[in-house]
Amino acid sequence: MSFLQAYFRQGVALQYLGRHADALAAFASGLAQDPKSLQLLVGMVEAAMKSPLRDSLEPTYQQLQKMKLDKSPFVVVSVIGQELLTHSFHGASVVVLEAGLKIGTCSLKLRGSVFSALSSAYWSLGNAEKSMAYMQQDLEVTKTLGDQSGECRAHGNLGSALFSKGSYREALANHRNQLVLAMKLKDREAASDALSSLGHVYTAIGDYPNALASHKQCVLLARQTQCQLSEARQLGNMGAVYTALGDFTNAVQCHEQHLDIAKTLEKRREEARAYSNLGSAYHSQRDFDKAISYHTRVLELAQELSDRAIEMRAFAGLGHAARCMQDLERARQHHQHQLEIAQELQDRAAQGRASSNLAEYPVIRSHLIFHTYNPLQIIHPSSSVNPTVLQSISTDSYLHASEKLLCSHVLVEFKRRCICNQLFPPTLQAAL
């Protein structure tokens, strides 16, 4: 039996087992070895049409037939690869799309669309290095083609990826290039995306005036285009920066506007974000009772929406507030819930933050016990300082660190969670 027959039989067997994505990967791997195999090409198309991809793939395949591209192994394999990516079969999509690159095409534009799709697939798999390598290739293709719109998109993707890796200087450069290109193209949506991203990078490096200016421009653009959802989100971003600047009045004003718009639009997830931001703002003012009331509302909305990511964020806020009120057992319980959800979501960064929060409790508890039972060891006999006051001051060092940590998380967390959603590869149809 030839190796091509082996790939074909493997694909058929996997299809019968209901492992449709793996079956398509097997057919594609065979075509990468011999692009001229009509048996493998037909087998792959038939398998795709019997898979969950059919509803979205069929109209595209009919267009390929009209364009007489349905016999092109590169085009068929790449289209199916992008459909797998769209349906979140990330592992199989990587195999299929890389098979497409091995098959090859003389069209630089088509190859660029596959580079972009692969960058998104690898990002979803958590392989940032390979993802960024494909992003760079995508960027180079757009420059070669003189495709300013594609170049703008590629700079945005690279900037977001670099931001997530903590490479803020490089992220800043890419988002600035994204903004310049968006302005040249008079693309307000792309300009708003670039400005918003710049705002998050400036926030991460502590340049709050530039962060605030960037988000303010986003609000103006949103109002010009009458995009209320974008306006609401940017008001939330502005509020977070005001919180970092210690401008509580403006912070709350922005977050309340964010909340009002979210309620008007009946966007409950956006409403939850606004409540979370309000909780953080009141936390920064050490009004922990009010912070807890807002984070509790976030928790209620998250559970109504069955949104575990928002629920995790609510537990984090509740945990920080409880800790600052010295209710350590309740705080530990909240952070334990935060960790359990992070593990369920397989969010490694969130697991790290939750574990870090939990790790602090033995230290804080022993610190409080030491100062409760040994006050004279740290106070000179002639000192007039009340031991209780000194204990409170000492405890404040932990609480201040907690507040700083929470503020930092609020400012960058929403950006980090948006990164995968920003990695929009161009479809192969657009490149044909």
pLDDT classification of 374: cutoffs 50, 70, 90: very low
| Residue range 15-64, pLDDT digits in tens | 999 999 999 999 999 999 999 999 999 999 999 999 999 999 999 999 99
What topology is assigned to 262-372+385-417 in CATH? 1.25.40
Amino acid at the residue 45: V
| Side-chain-side CA neighbours of residue 305 (13 Å) | 20
Residues whose CB is less than 8 angstroms from the CB of residue 199 and which lie 6 or more positions away in sequence, other chains included: 210, 211, 212, 214, 215, 218, 237, 241
Query: For a pLDDT cut of 70, what percent of the chain falls above it?
Result: 83
Number of other CB atoms surrounding residue 45 within 10 Å: 18
What is the structure's pLDDT at 149? 96
- What are the tokens at 398? 């932990």
Least confident of 119-128, 356-365, 394-403: 394-403
| Residue range 232-286, pLDDT digits in tens | 999 999 999 999 999 999 999 999 999 999 999 999 999 999 999 999 999 999 9
What is the structure's pLDDT at 357? 86
What is the structure's pLDDT at 388? 36
- What are the tokens at 67? 């364009």
| Residue range 85-127, pLDDT digits in tens | 999 999 999 999 999 999 999 899 999 999 999 999 999 998 9
User: Does the fold of domain 262-372+385-417 match that of domain 1-105?
Assistant: yes
- What are the tokens at 267? 């966007």
Q: Say if CB 52 and CB 20 are below 8 A apart.
A: yes
For residue 383, pLDDT over 60 is answered with: no
Measured between alpha carbons, how far is 163 from 173 in angstroms, rounded to an integer?
Answer: 11
Measured between alpha carbons, how far is 130 from 133 in angstroms, rounded to an integer?
Answer: 5
Exposure string for 53-69, b = 16+ CB within 10 A, e = fewer: beeebeebbeebeeeeb
- What are the tokens at 206? 């502590």
Ordered alpha helix ranges (H), 146-224: 148-164, 168-185, 188-204, 208-224
Average pLDDT of the segment spanning 66-74: 95
pLDDT classification of 2: cutoffs 50, 70, 90: confident
pLDDT classification of 300: cutoffs 50, 70, 90: very high
pLDDT classification of 432: cutoffs 50, 70, 90: low
Exposure string for 267-299, b = 16+ CB within 10 A, e = fewer: bbebbbbbbbbbbbbbbbeeebeebbebbbbbb
Q: Which CATH architecture has domain 1-105?
A: Alpha Horseshoe (1.25)
What is the structure's pLDDT at 220? 97
| Residue range 305-350, pLDDT digits in tens | 999 999 999 999 999 999 999 999 999 999 999 999 999 998 888 8
Ordered alpha helix ranges (H), 306-425: 308-324, 328-344, 348-373, 387-422
Q: Say if CB 432 and CB 69 are below 8 A apart.
A: yes
- What are the tokens at 18? 């209901």
Please report where in the chains the tokens 């290039």 appear, as a residue.
177
Q: Domain locations in the chain?
A: 1-105, 262-372+385-417
